[in-house]
Chain A
Amino acid sequence: MSSVTTSLAPAAKVESATALPRRAISLTERLLQVNLWLVFIFFYAPIAVLIIFSFNSGRVVSQWEGFSLAWYAKLFSNRDIGLALYNSMVVAGVSTVISTIMGTLVALGMERFDFRGKLSMDSMLYLPIIIPDIAMAVMLLLFFVQAGQLLARIGFGFSLGLGTIILAHVAFNISYVAVVVRARLADFDKSLEEAARDLYANEWNTFRYVTLPLIMPGILGGALLAFTISLDDFVVTFFTSGPGSTTLPLRIYSMVKTGITPEINALSTLMLLASMVLVLGSLALQRK
């Protein structure tokens, strides 16, 4: 990529040196285009390699030995991956429902009311997004271990597992949902609510029939964001999981750690497809 890193400076130099500014500009232009293409190649080459070699019949990643769906077949007969996918879906599903409800409520409260302590609430709401994954993971691990020991003394012991993963995911997902819903509420035409009230709708009916439908795209967008983040999360899950609660990213991690197999390529291709469908769906929703 070294040719790209210097693309700006030589372009400018040539431009000042030549007597024909028009030609010089076109050279800058050309270098900009080269950079554009190189960035796109940089972005798509790894994905292309994964997809192409998921259909390779051989085991070696760099040698093409013929088209085959063998790795997909192997993937579908792998029960560990099936279980991991199920766990991931449970974690993402449950944490999305909880964080969407709480995130939407808190967004309404923050946008509509002024109260003492609003600033500290604001920072408490933004911090989980800013803090690095690894720090969040570590603090939740410590918390769950301490709480587990404390509760075990009074007979309510628990161990790390799907439950703790869900609690941890809700802790960061509330913030993401709240940010998306608040953005929707911020450019919301308040006169519509006033109109409803002028027409003798009570507060609940105004919310139910005016506010809620209007912010629905924001809520759904927030829920989809939470779902994808939860499905994608590795670091926090890694620290808050226990035996038997392996999610898909954890499974992929241990597969990658133990060695490269084309089975991961097949899995990656399928996940790529799934996340494309999810994201395009969410874009379509937000456009409404």
Chain B
Amino acid sequence: MTAVPVSKIELKPTRRRVETLQILGLIGPTALYLLLFFVFPLLIVFVYSFLKRGVYGQLVWEFNVLNYVRVFDTLYLSILWRSFVLALLNTLVCLVLAYPFAYYIARVENARTRNLLLVLIMVPFWTNFLIRTYAWRVILANDGPINLILLNTGLISQPLQLIFTNFAVVVGLVYGYLPFMVLPLYAAIERIDFSLMEAASDLYANGWQAFRKVLFPLSMPGVIAGSILVFIPSLGAFVTPDLLGGAKTVMIGNLIQGQFLTSRDWPFGSAFSVLLMLMVLGATLIYFRKGGRTL
């Protein structure tokens, strides 16, 4: 960081030097820290992704792009595709659940009730992520409450295989990220002037038309912000598919973990990390371009 103040008014040389020192003192430590422990590691991953794994898992300093070529192997492409689909499915389910929920809260007249409802959506969110995921492992287990109720009521004769499936992963993801969808949606819907809805029905729009032509377009900033906030972290999810999924529900996060801790192919794992970061940065750029800045 070159800390040269951009002075708007002419400053005396000494005053200017004092300001430079202040900036260095305030920004300097963090700038150095993040350069060393963030930017530098980022560069290392980037460099690693172009190297080779030796026979014994050691690093071979031979520049190549084979790691990125290997990504196009059907096995890895299918994992990428699955991560994308599961993250998208999670986003859609969150949107469908959260929209009516946020709409309902936004129209509650009593401010205290409204705040209480919002806090209630946050409470489970304050607990450890592992424990929240573990809870679903208990509930969806073959001898868990859901199967038990279904068996006792005679709806099924054999326990359903719920745990270790794509279904379990999506349930876990929705549970983990729903608040990220509710809050921006609420913020967007709350700002809408509801007399516009009345105007629509005065003009003989039915409920569906009023929703489609008035409410939904006006709440679009919230829809986009919420979708990105849910999509980004679920794309890189690791704990949820690891605890609730099985061998057939591997996502990018699990693949990266496997390359680093099991197969010890660090260059290939690095290539996948770089890809994941690029996908996330792409999504973030869309978010900012669509006016996410205001939220």
Contact = CB atoms under 8 A, between A and B. Distances in A.
A36 interface: yes
A71 B6 CA distance: 63
B276 A124 contact: no
B26 interface: yes
Given A24-B207, A134-B273, A146-B44, A1 B97 contact: yes
Contacts of A133: 236, 238
A116 B2 contact: yes
Given A35-B100, A234-B239, A142 B276 contact: no
B75 interface: no
A131 B278 CA distance: 9
B127 interface: yes
B246 interface: no
Contacts of A257: 243
A228 B127 CA distance: 10
Interface in A120-153: 120-121, 124-125, 127-128, 130-135, 138-143, 146
B41 A61 contact: no
Nearest to A25: B207
A15 B280 CA distance: 41
B292 to A, nearest CB: 12
Contact of B208 (A9, A278, A279): A9
Interface string A99-132: 0001101101110111111001100110110111
B103 interface: yes
Contacts of A120: 1
B286 interface: no
Contact of B236 (A35, A134, A279): A134
A130 B292 CA distance: 14
A239 B232 CA distance: 21
Contacts of B34: 124-125, 128, 171, 174
A138 B31 CA distance: 21
A212 B128 CA distance: 32
Interface in B174-210: 175, 178, 201, 206-208
B126 A275 contact: yes
A232 interface: yes
Interface stretch (B63-71, B217-225, B252-260): B252-260
Best-buried of A15, A46, A264 by chain B (most CB within 10 Å): A46
Contacts of A138: 45, 256, 260, 269-270, 273
A117 B3 CA distance: 8
B76 interface: no
A21 B198 CA distance: 13
A257 B243 CA distance: 8
Nearest to B121: A43
A115 B129 contact: no
A268 B19 CA distance: 50
B124 interface: yes
A130 B37 contact: no
A167 interface: yes
B206 A276 contact: no
Contacts of B31: 106, 121, 124
Nearest to B210: A12
B154 interface: no
Given A110-B27, A139-B42, A234-B239, A61 B211 contact: no
Contact of A134 (B30, B238, B243): B238
B284 interface: yes
A113 B131 CA distance: 43
Interface in A22-57: 24-25, 28, 31-33, 35-36, 39-40, 42-47, 49-50, 53
B239 A143 contact: no
B270 A131 contact: no
B30 A276 contact: no
A188 B8 CA distance: 22
Interface string B232-243: 110110110001
Interface in B126-182: 126-132, 134-139, 141, 143-145, 147-148, 175, 178
A170 interface: yes
17 contacts: A1-B97, A8-B211, A33-B104, A39-B97, A47-B127, A49-B135, A49-B139, A105-B26, A121-B31, A124-B34, A134-B256, A134-B257, A135-B273, A142-B270, A167-B37, A171-B37, A252-B134
Interface of B: 1-6, 8, 19, 22-23, 25-27, 29-31, 33-35, 37-42, 44-45, 48, 93, 96-101, 103-105, 117, 120-121, 123-124, 126-132, 134-139, 141, 143-145, 147-148, 175, 178, 201, 206-208, 211, 232-233, 235-236, 238-239, 243, 252-253, 256-257, 260, 266, 269-270, 273, 276-277, 280-281, 284
